[in-house]
């Protein structure tokens, strides 16, 4: 078995889960930043995640809110989302 077939260490990992709406959701990613540019690890993890979701017949992949440039290269579309927050200070300032 060659070195390509049996890697010496892991350079990236994508942890995904599914939900009841038949969505495939990549939740966490781990990267060895020393090899990021040489192997294009992030893009390869995205590609393999999309490929696996399609192989498993998932119709929707939720890729999250960051790195849209890389995701659009692989065919993702942007869906605008809004979040509203209201804060209430629950402490009193010193008198």
**Mean pLDDT value across the chain:** 81
pLDDT score of 4: 62
Closest Cα to residue 61, out of 74, 4, 35, 88? 74
Q: Where are the beta strands (DSSP E) in the chain?
A: 12-18, 23-31, 60-61
pLDDT number for residue 93: 63
Q: Is the pLDDT of residue 65 over 80?
A: no
pLDDT band for position 53 (cuts 50, 70, 90): very high
């Amino acid at each position: 078995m060659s070195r390509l077939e049996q890697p010496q260490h892991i350079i990236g990992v994508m942890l995904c889960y599914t939900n009841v709406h038949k969505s495939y959701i990549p939740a966490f990613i781990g990267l060895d930043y020393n090899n990021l540019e040489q192997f294009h690890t992030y893009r390869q993890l995205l590609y393999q995640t999309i490929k696996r979701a399609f192989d498993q017949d998932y119709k929707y992949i939720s890729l999250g809110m960051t790195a849209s440039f890389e995701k659009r290269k692989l065919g993702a579309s942007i869906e605008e989302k809004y979040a509203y927050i209201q804060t209430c200070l629950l402490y009193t300032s010193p008198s």
